[in-house]
Amino acid sequence: MLPDRVVTPSLIEQPQVPASVQPANEVLPVAGEWVAPMKRRRFLTLASAAVSAGGLGGVVPPSLQAVAWAAGSDAPEKKEVKIGFIPLTDCASVVMASVLEIDKKYGVKIIPTKEASWASVRDKLVNGEIDFAHVLYGLIYGVQMGVGGAKKDMAALMSLNNNGQAISLSKKLADKGAVDGAGLAKLMAAEKREYTFAQTFPTGTHAMWLYYWLAAHGINPMKDAKVITVPPPQMVANMRVGNMDGFCVGEPWNHRAIADGIGVTAITSQDIWKDHPEKVLGTRLDFVKQNPNTARAVTAAILEASKWIDAGLSNKNKMADTIAQQAYVNTSRDVIIDRILGRYQNGMGKTWDDANHMKFFNDGAVNYPYLSDGMWFLTQHRRWGLLKEDPDYLAIAKQVNQTAIYKEAAAQVKVSLPKSDMRKSTMVDGVVWDGSNPKQYAGSFKVKTA
């Protein structure tokens, strides 16, 4: 088990802040004197007028926009925050917001804290030991509904990444022809025994990707297999000693299984759902209500860090160098960087360039907390019997997903917004999800429990 520890910036080497994340147009003294006492309503009035005149950036200096949010009545209520994370590649935007000191620009100090498991993240988030977390989308909704832990009103502030997870099968299964879903179904039908698959948290994203993929190939995960929960950093070690036949987890652990010669990639998560939601910046709803300025500032800092990561190859290399360190993911940078750049191999000789690799920003398309994304996890919780009846899908998503705070943060970072709170996607089985009729959708699957 990994020890719980607080990783402060002083514990790691501080890379030089690239020019791309340096605050542009430093505030002149006169501007600083004007902004400090300015109330939010006054600033929003000016900002609105600026937008009407042809764009906020063209009238109000960028530094003035940021300082106005961080000063006076809009100053963060809590200026030092702990953000829990699990050692996975997609914790990068949280880590880089701290390491590059982007957080200071928004008046906060982010302290990333390394956690041992998603259950630990859940517990510490709910009881207030940490303020925010890099957390599974489905975990937040599970806690909201009282599934997989005590019920607590939760908040999802932004999506941290799309894509970049995978389902790995053991080399032993692959040697028998189980290299994809069809091959696995054929083997399970021919060789009857108990097959064990691992996910990382019962209501989480990895569980839902695993269940969806198995079901798409006629395998009911609740009846035809044994499903266990294993923390992400322990997946490879457990497969090595034969505790499981396959697992679904985030990178770099699928690539690590290939590098160690014990597993193969059967399918990537982006081939189950292109540009799927994955981790979110999560917290408690009461924390947001008590600290709205802090919530906005942290969202803005991580959004800017996300933008920085996706800005170019040199930034991605610096990110890989940073998060590979022992304080974070604790693995080789090569295991991280290949799949970040879309350079995939399946462990059986096949290589390909995947345009739908893990993305942190993608011109802003990644980060909006779509209501339909949150609703989808509720439909799957209902499908697999984790929810015993249909909830008010839309009302819950509106309560959990903090679209108003995200929009304020996006305005600070100059990130465009989508036209709708809903989006349309086609899954690996050809089924379309658009959020329009969640109850019907949840009940429409042939393979299900509920």
Which pLDDT value is given to residue 73? 77
**Per residue in 345-372, is it b (16+ CB within 10 Å) or e — as a string?**
bbbeeeeeebebbbbbbbebebbbbbbb
Q: How long a stretch of residues is the chain?
A: 450
Which pLDDT value is given to residue 70? 57
Q: How many other CB atoms are found less than 10 A from the CB of residue 3?
A: 7
Helix and strand totals (H; E) in the chain: 21, 15
Q: What is the pTM of this model?
A: 0.85
Mean pLDDT by 10 residues, the chain (450 residues): 32 31 29 32 41 39 51 87 98 98 98 98 98 98 93 98 98 97 98 98 98 98 98 97 97 97 98 98 98 98 98 98 98 96 96 98 97 98 98 98 98 97 97 98 94
Segment holding 279, helix H or strand E: strand 279-284
Residue 313: half-sphere exposure toward Cβ, Cα within 13 Å: 3
Q: Which residues touch 132 (CB under 8 Å, ≥6 apart)? A: 81, 82, 83, 84, 125, 157, 281, 282, 283, 298
Which pLDDT value is given to residue 14? 31
The Cα–Cα gap between 22 and 38 comes to 24
Residue among 271, 220, 264 nearest 239 (CA) = 264
Planar angle of CA 249, 250, 252, nearest 5 degrees = 115
Report which residue type is found at 377: F
Which pLDDT value is given to residue 405? 98
Which pLDDT value is given to residue 47? 45
Segment holding 335, helix H or strand E: helix 333-340
In the chain, % helix, strand, coil (3-state, to 5) comes to 45, 15, 40
Cβ pair 410, 417 in contact under 8 A: yes
Which pLDDT value is given to residue 148? 75
Report which residue type is found at 423: R
Cβ pair 137, 277 in contact under 8 A: yes
The Cα–Cα gap between 297 and 283 comes to 14
Q: How many other CB atoms are found less than 10 A from the CB of residue 445?
A: 18
In angstroms, the Cα distances linking 383 to 377, 387, 446 are 10, 8, 10
* pLDDT, tens digit (0-9, with 9 covering 90-100), for 211-237: 999 999 999 999 999 999 999 999 999
Q: How many other CB atoms are found less than 10 A from the CB of residue 380?
A: 23
Cβ pair 248, 165 in contact under 8 A: yes
DSSP, residue by residue, 387-425:
SSS---HHHHHHHHB-HHHHHHHHHHHT----S-S---E
**Per residue in 99-122, is it b (16+ CB within 10 Å) or e — as a string?**
bbbbbebbbbbbbbbbbbbbbbbb
Residue 420: half-sphere exposure toward Cβ, Cα within 13 Å: 8
Report which residue type is found at 361: F
